[in-house]
Amino acid sequence: MKNDKAANSAVAEIARRTAVGLIRKVFGRTRVALTDFPAYDNVGDSALWVGARNALRLADANVVYGCTHMSYDPVALRAAIRGGTIALAAGGNFGDVWPRRQQFRERVVRDFPDVRIVQLPQSITFNTQEAIDRCRSIIGAHKNFTLMVRDEKSEAFARDKLGFDPILCPDMAFGMEAIERIGNPIVDVLCLKRRDKESAAPDWSAERALVVDWGGLTPREQWINKSTRYVRRLSGLGSVGRRAALAAFDARASHRVRYGIKQLSSGRVVISDRLHGVLIAHLAGIPVVAVDNVDKKVSALIGTWNSDWPMPPVADSFQEAYERGLAQISSNDPVKKS
């Protein structure tokens, strides 16, 4: 089976430089509060946190405050940034599909009408006009709000429906340092399949495929999560406490990303309708075929950047992805048991 590690490393480096250049242009050398840490089991959102942290560091922006939506403290945040910039977490939840995430960013915008706010690259999906109107009313009214998006579909929606002039930027997962496969594959096809409301496909199975979703939090991650319950208190203890809080977040996110890489590495080939299942496998040099989710953000992102650097193919169904995946496996390359 062809080893694409070198090619994928080159892709990652180009994408990282592009993302960091845009982040540097948008943020400059400023104090940053990075909000909405993903204290849940989605590996993709942890990858976005790790990538954003690294991109901001490379862009010479100084992250001085971090929070979950539960530990968010407007007083501590304002004291920390001292005229700097608030960064809203990157991802695929700008809209009304995941209302808690949207409600949080709208709360931050209301709380800080006088502070510069940057929405890190997002995919945008709205299903109701009411939610669109609320977004225009709350976020669109902010005098110093910058919207970054990660695909051309979201770029057009933001401009045409929300009245923004967005900045197109690669997904923040590309901001991570180089990653590699962990361990040897134990199955032919690892199918990472959504089990939430973003899944566009019914149940699917195949003889040579192991069908899973991101696994639950490990005991270590659960312990780190418990420790971050004290983040609100730590963040009010000055710079030392804030650094301790950020360190806890970074440890949790890095551990979760490593867990996800190890999970994807169990397949000789990966097929997935999770965008970051596709991207992480691709960046780790694991052969991968994508399948769209319900709002087609997977194909939207791949289609946007495929002309700039090679991206994984998108199949019309899991069965097609499975057949494409099997075609990449040579008969004389047996599975190695770990």
Half-sphere exposure of 204 (CA within 13 A, CB side): 25
Residue type, 113: P
Q: 55, 16 in Cβ contact below 8 A?
A: yes
Give ranges for CATH 3.40.50 in the chain.
5-175
263-319 pLDDT, tens digit each: 999 999 999 999 999 999 999 999 999 999 999 999 999 999 998 888 999 999 999
d(CA 105, CA 139): 9
Calculate mean pLDDT across residues 230-248: 72
Lookup result for tokens 């490593």: 258
Tens digit of pLDDT for each residue in 45-56?
999 999 999 999
What's the Rg (C-alpha) of the chain? 20
The answer to whether 48 touches 90, Cβ cutoff 8 Å, is yes
Q: What is the mean pLDDT of residues 64-71?
A: 90
> Quick check: 168 and 149 in contact, CB under 8 A?
yes
pLDDT of res. 331? 42
Going by C-alpha positions, the residue among 73, 136, 137, 145 that lies closest to residue 113 is 145
Angle at 72 between CA 68 and CA 78, to 5 degrees: 130
Q: How far apart are CA 122 and CA 294, in angstroms?
A: 16
How far is it, in rounded angstroms, from Cα 230 to Cα 250?
15
* Under 8 Å between Cβ of 175 and 51: yes
Topology at the third CATH level for domain 5-175: Rossmann fold (3.40.50)
Of 4-8, 199-203, 277-281, the one with minimum mean pLDDT is 4-8
Average pLDDT over residues 114-126: 98
CA distance 296 to 216: 25
Tell me the whole-structure pTM to 2 decimals.
Answer: 0.92
Full strand arrangement of the beta sheet holding 314-315 = 209-212, 187-192, 267-272, 288-291, 314-315
Does pLDDT of 7 surpass 70? no
pLDDT at 222: 72
Q: What is the pLDDT of residue 220?
A: 73
Which string of b and e fits 50-60 if b means at least 16 CB within 10 Å?
Answer: bbbbbbbebbe
pLDDT band at 28 (very low <50, low <70, confident <90, very high): very high
